[in-house]
Amino acid sequence: MILTDSHAHLYLDQFSADRLEMMDAALKAGVNRIFLPAIDSNTHQNLLELADQFPDSCFPMMGLHPCSVNASTVDYEIGIIEEFHSKRKFVAVGEIGIDLFWDQSQLALQQKIFAHQIDLAIKLKLPIVIHSRSAFKECYEIVKSKKATAEGKHLTGIFHCFSDGIVEAQKVIDLGGFIMGIGGVLTFKNSGVDKVVAHFGLEHFVLETDAPYLAPVPFRGKRNESAYLVHIATKMAEIKGLSIETVAKVTTENSKTIFGI
């Protein structure tokens, strides 16, 4: 059984003390494919070092996280991202998007930078990985407008940490080429994500941890890690009435379709 963690920040300081042990636990749990989304220039080097240390298991993305978008540094940050993309291969532009949970004052700038990074992905023929916390509508509208152009019609990607409803999920599916990342929130009581998973076919989902964040039950509130993906897969299998092996196989194939790996 091969499980794919489509979104994990395993290069962050939360894993500094036991990163090798954590990676070993993930591999032993069957999580053999881990995709690493970028945040900003403070952590790019750590991300790349981890990807180089585990080239058969860890696959790096490059992008600017919306929470790192601010007027004083954004030009510098985007310049670094574009330089990295010119020097080595990444599997996606990500994670990018809009976050209105913490601060709504940066919306216009986040929209501008999100659109700019989508254009970069279109140019590079790479998928995008979207952070849309409290901002599904805003992210969806930009993606839809980009998909409507001749250049962007082949744009694909993942709505990471999907936690909206059936209506929003249908909009993702209707875009064509986009799927939803399902993480530990699926195991939370009354999250509503279980209804989305029950309503749509397995072909519309990939699994993710978003480690070190959003650990699934029974580890909720603790540091998340890729080995815990098994609990998310188990919950999805339970909801769908399928074996965990089937969930692992289909969601891994879905990740291959998006990332090309």
HSE-up (13 A, CA, CB side) for residue 228: 28
Supply the pLDDT for residue 260: 94
Model pLDDT for residues 126-166, shown as the tens digit of each residue: 999 999 999 999 999 999 999 999 999 999 999 999 999 99
Give Cα 113 to chain centroid, integer Å: 18
Alpha helices in 72-106 (DSSP H): 74-87
Number of domains in the chain: 1
Cβ atoms 12, 43 nearer than 8 A: yes
CATH number reported for the structural domain that contains residue 22 in this entry? 3.20.20.140
E strands, the chain, where? 3-5, 31-36, 58-60, 93-97, 128-131, 157-159, 178-182, 205-207
What value does the mean pLDDT take over residues 217-236? Answer: 98
Supply the pLDDT for residue 102: 87
Cβ contacts of residue 144 below 8 Å, gap of 6+? Answer: 175
Check whether 261 has a pLDDT greater than 90.
no
Range of the domain at 162: 3-259
Percent of the chain exceeding pLDDT 90 equals 99
Distance CA 232, CA 109 (A): 34
Cβ contacts of residue 33 below 8 Å, gap of 6+? Answer: 2, 3, 4, 5, 57, 59, 252, 255, 261
Check whether 120 has a pLDDT greater than 90.
yes
The position carrying tokens 């004083």 is 72
Distance CA 210, CA 232 (A): 12
**Rg over CA atoms, the chain:** 17
Model pLDDT for residues 191-221, shown as the tens digit of each residue: 999 999 999 999 999 999 999 999 999 999 9
Cβ atoms 249, 238 nearer than 8 A: no
Model pLDDT for residues 35-84, shown as the tens digit of each residue: 999 999 999 999 999 999 999 999 999 999 999 999 999 999 999 999 99
Distance CA 185, CA 177 (A): 23
Supply the pLDDT for residue 47: 98
